[in-house]
Amino acid sequence: MLILKKFLRDLPAVLGALIVLAAVILAIFPELLVDNVDRINRGNIIMRLKPPSADMPFGTDDLGRNIFERVIVGTRSALTISLFVVVVSMIVGVPLGLIAGYRSGWASSAIMRVTDVFLAVPQLILAIAIAQLLGRGQISAMIALAVTYWPFFTRTVYAETQKVRASLFVEALEGYGASKTRIMLFHILPNVAAPVIVRATVGMGFVILTAAVLGFLGVGAVPPAPDWGLQISEGRKYLPEQWWYATFPGLAILLLVLGFNLLGDGLRDLVDPRLRRS
């Protein structure tokens, strides 16, 4: 419980946690703030491009849809994409990093060379290319992001594993004749878990951002999905007069990414105060 107390003293991290928590709740229960979730894609030309008002706090878009409701409902797809991408990347990247870091030999070298190749190409550009190949849609955006994101986990886990591998308790276990699988799963994995969790948290924010970029560039979600990136892309045409159209989805991205980053930094401090960043 000491850890919880320490965490609660870190104000930015608590703020981040609250933002993330709010986003998760809204993603699961958008009904809390949206009257009729099924209706958000239905336009109303008469109400077209109305500025923010008490009734519609974020205004309406070019089809007269309530931007506030669309931003709220968009939370779900943003979180779904990032969760999927991060989880898949972890499932692929963590075991590869463990193997590469703990074993030595050609398999280990091969894994790290492939990882290095992926990391050498800017992730966004690679993701755009893959998404294009797979055809437009949210699913292909998710796959493209996952395919390009796992090397980050492999790198982190690899570096951490190398550190833990050199420690005496691993050597002792080898001395007692423990199998490599046992050492990797029961001893190295828990010891590298903390930095992986930090990486994953910050990664959630990062993926939300990249997913929005894909949506913005038109290789992600397809209209009329209430995707934030897509909304900004559509609203861009109406800048600067109808500023609210592009601004509020943008703010939503900003807020959620900020939330994940603050939370991730807080977790990092909790895991290792020496890594504290200014």
Partner 1 sequence: MTAPLLETVDLKKHYGGTRKLLQRPKPLVKAVDGIDLQLAPGEVLGLVGESGCGKSTLARTLLGLERETEGKILFEGKDVGGRGASAARAIRSDIQYVHQDPGAALDPWWRIGDTLHETLKIHGVTDKAERDARIEEMLLAVGLNDSFRRRYPHELSGGQQRRVGLARTLSLRPRLVILDEPTSGLDLSVQATVLKLMLELRAQYDLTYLFISHDLSVVERLCDRVAIMYLGRIVEIGAAEQVFSKPAHPYTQALLASAPTLERQEAGKPIEGDPPSPTNRPDGCPFHPRCPMAEAACRQSVPDLADVAAAHRVACPPALRTLTPQ
Which residue's CB is nearer to partner 1, number 53 or number 179?
A: 179
By beta-carbon proximity to partner 1, the closer residue of 44 and 167 is: 167
d(CA 16, CA 3) in angstroms, rounded, equals: 17
Name the residue nearer to partner 1 (CB basis): 44 or 109.
Answer: 109
Q: Give least dist CB 157 to partner 1, A.
A: 16
User: What is each CA distance from 39 to 31, 51, 70, 226, in whole angstroms?
Assistant: 12, 20, 10, 11
DSSP secondary structure string, 144-199? HHHHHHHHHHHHHHHHHHHHHHTSHHHHHHHHTT--HHHIIIIIIHHHHHHHHHHH
Spatial distance between the Cα atoms of 27 and 14, rounded to a whole number of angstroms: 20
Q: Rounded to whole angstroms, what are the CA distances from 240 to 60, 63, 71, 216, 243?
A: 15, 18, 19, 17, 5
Nearest to 116 by CA among 91, 97, 90: 97
CB nearer to partner 1: give 2 or 54. 2
Q: Which residues bind partner 1 (CB under 8 A)?
A: 167-169, 171-179, 182, 186-187, 190-191
Three-class SS state of 136: coil
- Min dist CB 111 to partner 1, Å, is 16
Least Å distance between CB 12 and partner 1?
28
* Shortest distance, position 131 Cβ to partner 1, whole Å: 35
Sign of dihedral through CA atoms 146, 151, 156, 157? Answer: positive
Report angle CA 119, 108, 198 to the nearest 5 degrees. 50
Compare residues 29 and 169 and give the one whose CB is closer to partner 1: 169
The residue (of 41 and 191) whose beta carbon lies closer to partner 1 is 191
Query: Would you say 264 and 270 are in contact if contact means Cβ atoms under 8 Å apart?
Result: no
Closest approach of partner 1 to the CB of residue 182, in Å: 7
State in angstroms the smallest separation of the CB of 10 from partner 1: 23
Q: How far is the CB of 166 from partner 1 (least distance, A)?
A: 11
CA dihedral 41, 42, 48, 51 (to 10 degrees): -50
Q: For residues 164 and 262, which CB has a smaller minimum distance to partner 1 in the complex?
A: 164
